[in-house]
Copies of this chain bind each other. A is one copy, B any other.
Amino acid sequence: MNVKINYQPIGYIQTPFNTVSDMPIQPSGAEGAEGIIELDPGFVPGLSDLDGFSHLILIYHFHLVKGHKLCVVPFMDDKPHGIFATRAPARPNPIGISTVKLKKMENNLIYIEGVDMVNGTPLLDIKPYFAPYDNRPDSISGWLKDKSDIDIAKVKSDNRFCQ
């Protein structure tokens, strides 16, 4: 499979986390962590009507990850799992998704809450969160099911995927 797909950042995400150590591992563990999307000004017309949404799905590039692993010990467990059964960043295509709260928008700056990515992360896409598309209240969560009681806010990342 030698198809090459090329993307360019549409902007960058400013967050309080300058290193991957001790970051929250998901927005649900990042309550109150505020960030700013600095969008390339040329894309500002694409933001029209986004301000009516409470939540955004951000798609971004894990730019600090070095290589990929097919089996990882994720932050939420002490046992290995296949990379596609985890949300760990060391993926064959290191793409991250996070659902964050939209606070306000000013020109090319989008103020968000619940950020769980490192400062300076290249942003690839913004999608509006829409419950009929994105909510699955009846989902079953495999090995993560037993971890639902973990207080995600207390689980922090480290640099295991960046070395």
Residue ranges of A at the interface with B (Cβ–Cβ < 8 Å): 1-11, 26-28, 40, 43, 45-55, 57, 59, 61, 70-71, 80-87, 91-93, 95, 97, 99, 122, 124-145, 148, 152
| Copies of this chain held together in the complex | 2
Q: Which of B1, B27, B82, B95 is the one whose CB lies under 8 Å from A59?
A: B95
Interface pair A93/B50, CB less than 8 Å apart: no
Contacts known (A128-B86, A128-B142, A133-B27); A122 close to B3, Cβ less than 8 A: yes
Q: Are the CB atoms of A134 and B4 closer together than 8 Å?
A: no
Interface of A is mostly: mixed
New A-B contacts (20) at CB < 8 Å, excluding given A59-B95, A87-B130, A128-B144: A3-B9, A5-B6, A5-B61, A6-B6, A8-B92, A26-B133, A43-B70, A46-B92, A49-B82, A49-B143, A51-B142, A53-B142, A54-B138, A54-B140, A59-B59, A59-B97, A84-B127, A95-B124, A131-B148, A134-B135
